[in-house]
């Protein structure tokens, strides 16, 4: 657009200042974490210390491997449970429901995405932890319990995205497939899912990010053990829960706090990679 | 059901499984919490009451929203209405927004703890908590505003500009009114999300309620209260109290979302607005 009018200059500047401030927030977040992490990142010995498996702050051992493993295991378990269920829910919503029922289901799903994570944590303590203790063994507080709680937590988000992705598949494609003699199953597997794939990937990434970043629901049921877990029934900790439990234990300026800053940087880097991955392989 | 529809049957079973999971959550919440959810519980303070927590939750959410709604809208207007659509700066701001939006809230708390508590010597208080919530909600509000503004057809803008209106007049008098329904619905969603925040607030606003209420005093919210009495507290009947607090929070969130969707319809919600992202 040419000819920017005089009355437009001030509002444009104001909006630009807001966007600049927004950028500043991003810079401050990363810069303050890097500044805090610097003492630990500087020397090779401490980097070797950081990738180790022993977390013993009193002896100066800051191995982050237990938390990276915990985060990966919990997130993976949550996705393995939630993705099939969400796909099933999406197929049911899109194919088996009338218009009115579908609209209401989608609305309820949207409300369920807003259920606070502490409510899931409370439920985890109430039902999942005892269930794991009785059925699988161990103390009950475990990576498995955290995975189950997280799975339920991300289920509405995943279902909503998957339902929207499948709903966007043009009707002509389905009808064409049926006209060629394909069964409903064949149409679903060979036409609808491939066509919806970019949008499905997008939803998967959003669910993955929520699982990866969740703190409270996981903290309440995972047990907070800092040793490297050997199985899903073992208690453990994740990057987020360890930041949460140690944030006041190690005041800023100590080596322990610097390690928390490094964990936070790892999480932000992971989120940035997910954002770029969703852009590259997802829809939109 | 014919032979080629096995996957539909499997899907229905899986969907029922998910539904059962949520029925378990809501059912156990109702079973434990409903018996002690009384007027006295909602209004009194101290053990056996959540009056101060309700107040703190409302105040924190209100401050965070008042700050972030205009700021989020301004960033979205800058990106969508002033910059060229596919410019580098729009993409960079989108990356920043998406990354901040998915950043764990405990990471935001870590930063606020260093900057506000460490450098500026703010106490662990409602103000510090409000600052954390504002940082958490700003990217979400940008996203809500971006998709609300994007739902307004370009023909509206072109007509307004062709009639001689400036960009700013077009935004204020044409685009925002047309996007209002979606905006309101998105604001309702962000309010619900803020009300449920706990991790960041435990660190920045604390787990106590102060005797003399002040913005610079500690301010436990409903969501924090659930966590605190269930995992750290030593009071008897903590399961029921946590559940009743959870129920209160869920009812509050549902009312907010319902009101927002009613208001949104009043102002004409169009297709393709807030989509749960």
Decide if pLDDT at B27 tops 90: yes
Mutate to test the interface with B, among A29, A80, A160 (most CBs of B within 10 A): A29
Decide if pLDDT at A3 tops 60: no
Pick from B109, B220, B224, B198: which is nearest to A248 by CA? B109
For residue A62, which phi and psi values (nearest 5 degrees)? -120, 50
Nearest by CB: A114 against B24, B192, B243: B192
Decide if pLDDT at B277 tops 70: no
Using alpha carbons only, what angle is made at residue B226 by residues B221 and B227, rounded to the nearest 5 degrees?
100
CB contact under 8 Å between B99 and A157, yes or no, is no
Decide if pLDDT at A62 tops 70: yes
Mean pLDDT of chain B: 90
CB contact under 8 Å between B103 and A29, yes or no, is yes
Residue position matching structure tokens 């009639």: B163
Whether the full predicted model's pTM is greater than 0.90, yes or no, is yes
pLDDT-derived band at B273, boundaries 50, 70, 90:
very low
Three-state secondary structure call for residue A273: helix
d(CA B232, CA A224): 14
Q: What is the DSSP string of A11-62?
A: HHHHHHHHHHHHHHHHHHHHHHHHHHHHHHHSSHHHHHHHTSS-EEGGGTEE
**Chain B residue nearest residue A188, CA to CA:** B7
**Chain B residue nearest residue A148, CA to CA:** B21
Q: What one-character DSSP code corresponds to residue B273?
A: -
CATH 3.30.750.24 holds for B38-266: no
Q: Considering only A16-20, A161-165, B261-265, which range has the smallest mean pLDDT? A: B261-265
Mutate to test the interface with B, among A5, A27, A92, A127 (most CBs of B within 10 A): A92
CB contact under 8 Å between B96 and A11, yes or no, is no
CB contact under 8 Å between B24 and A214, yes or no, is no
B31-71 confidence digits (pLDDT tens): 999 999 999 999 988 778 899 999 999 999 999 999 999 99
**A55-281 CATH fold:** MetI-like fold (1.10.3720)
pLDDT-derived band at A209, boundaries 50, 70, 90:
very high
pLDDT at A283: 62
pLDDT-derived band at B205, boundaries 50, 70, 90:
very high
pLDDT over 70 for what percent of chain A?
96
Domains in chain B: boundaries: 38-266
pLDDT-derived band at B221, boundaries 50, 70, 90:
very high
pLDDT at B48: 80
b/e string for A2-27 if b means 16 or more Cβ within 10 A? eeeeeebeebbeebbebbeebeebbe
d(CA A133, CA A125): 11
B233-260 confidence digits (pLDDT tens): 666 778 889 999 999 999 999 999 999 9
Residues in B touching A22 (Cβ below 8 Å): 71, 75, 93, 96-97, 138-139, 142
Mutate to test the interface with B, among A122, A152, A267 (most CBs of B within 10 A): A122
pLDDT-derived band at B1, boundaries 50, 70, 90:
very low
b/e string for B27-49 if b means 16 or more Cβ within 10 A? ebbeebbeebbeeebeeeeeeeb
Decide if pLDDT at A5 tops 60: no
Residues in B touching A262 (Cβ below 8 Å): none
What is the gyration radius of the CA atoms in chain A, in angstroms? 23
Mean pLDDT of A25-50: 87
Mean pLDDT of B220-242: 85
Residue position matching structure tokens 């997802």: A282
Q: ipTM of this model?
A: 0.92
d(CA B173, CA B143): 21
pLDDT at B272: 43
For residue A116, which phi and psi values (nearest 5 degrees)? -60, 145
Nearest by CB: A206 against B17, B226, B277: B277
d(CA A172, CA A174): 5
pLDDT-derived band at B10, boundaries 50, 70, 90:
very high
Decide if pLDDT at A284 tops 70: no
How close does chain A come to B107, measured CA to CA in Å? Answer: 6
pLDDT over 70 for what percent of chain B?
94
Structure tokens at B215: 């913005």
Domains in chain A: boundaries: 55-281
Pick from B24, B192, B239, B202: which is nearest to B112 by CA? B202
**Chain A residue nearest residue B11, CA to CA:** A88
Written in H, E and C, the secondary structure of B81-128 is HHCCCCCHHHHHHHHHHHHHHHCCHHHHHHHHHHHHHHHCCCCCCHHH
Answer for the pair B96, B166: CB distance below 8 angstroms, yes or no: no
Answer for the pair A106, A182: CB distance below 8 angstroms, yes or no: no
């Amino acid at each position: 657009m040419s000819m920017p009018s005089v009355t437009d200059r001030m509002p444009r500047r104001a909006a630009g200042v807001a966007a600049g401030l927004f950028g500043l927030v991003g810079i401050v977040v990363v810069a303050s974490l890097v500044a805090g992490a610097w003492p630990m990142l500087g020397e090779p010995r401490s980097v070797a210390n950081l990738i180790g498996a022993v977390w013993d702050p009193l002896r100066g051992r800051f191995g982050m491997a237990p938390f990276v493993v915990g985060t990966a295991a919990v997130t993976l378990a949550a996705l393995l449970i939630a993705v099939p269920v969400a796909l099933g829910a999406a197929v049911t919503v899109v194919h088996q429901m009338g218009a009115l029922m579908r609209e209401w289901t989608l609305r309820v799903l949207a409300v369920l995405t807003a259920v606070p994570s502490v409510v899931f944590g409370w439920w985890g303590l109430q039902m999942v932890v005892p269930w794991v203790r009785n059925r699988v063994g161990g103390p009950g507080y475990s990576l498995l319990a955290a995975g189950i709680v997280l799975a339920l937590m991300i289920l509405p988000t995943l279902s909503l995205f998957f339902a929207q992705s499948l709903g966007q598949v043009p009707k002509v494609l389905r009808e064409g497939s049926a006209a060629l003699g394909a069964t409903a199953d064949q149409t679903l597997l060979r036409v609808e899912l491939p066509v919806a794939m970019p949008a499905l990937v997008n939803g998967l990434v959003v669910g993955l990010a929520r699982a990866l970043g969740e703190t409270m629901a996981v903290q309440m049921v995972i047990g907070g053990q800092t040793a490297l877990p050997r199985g899903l029934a073992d208690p453990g900790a994740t990057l987020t829960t360890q930041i949460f439990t140690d944030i006041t234990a190690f005041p800023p300026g100590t080596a322990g706090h610097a390690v928390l800053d490094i964990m936070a940087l790892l999480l932000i880097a992971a989120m940035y990679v997910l954002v770029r991955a969703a852009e590259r392989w997802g829809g939109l | 059901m014919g032979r080629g529809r096995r996957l539909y049957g499997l899907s229905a079973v899986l969907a029922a499984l998910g539904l059962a999971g949520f029925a378990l959550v809501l059912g156990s919440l109702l079973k434990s919490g409903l018996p002690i959810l009384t007027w006295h519980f909602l209004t009194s303070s101290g053990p056996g009451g959540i009056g101060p927590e309700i107040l703190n939750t409302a105040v924190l959410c209100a401050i965070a929203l008042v700050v972030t709604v205009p700021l989020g809208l301004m960033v979205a207007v800058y990106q969508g209405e002033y910059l060229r659509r596919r410019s580098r700066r729009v993409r960079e701001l989108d990356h920043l927004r998406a990354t901040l939006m998915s950043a764990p809230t405990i990471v935001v708390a870590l930063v606020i703890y260093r900057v506000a508590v460490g450098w500026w010597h703010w106490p662990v208080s409602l103000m510090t908590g409000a600052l954390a919530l504002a940082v958490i909600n700003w990217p979400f509000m940008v996203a809500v505003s971006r998709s609300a503004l994007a739902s307004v057809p370009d023909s509206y803008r072109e007509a307004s500009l062709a009639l001689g209106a400036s960009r700013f007049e077009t935004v204020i008098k044409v685009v925002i009114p047309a996007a209002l329904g979606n905006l309101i619905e998105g604001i309702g969603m962000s309010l619900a999300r803020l009300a449920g925040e706990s991790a960041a607030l435990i660190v920045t606003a604390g787990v106590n309620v102060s005797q003399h209420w002040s913005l610079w005093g500690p301010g436990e919210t409903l969501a924090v209260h659930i966590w605190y009495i269930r995992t750290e507290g030593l009071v008897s009947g903590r399961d029921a109290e946590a559940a009743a607090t959870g129920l209160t929070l869920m009812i509050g969130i549902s009312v907010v979302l319902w009101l927002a969707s009613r208001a949104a319809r009043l102002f004409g919600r169009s297709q393709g607005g807030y989509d749960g992202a």
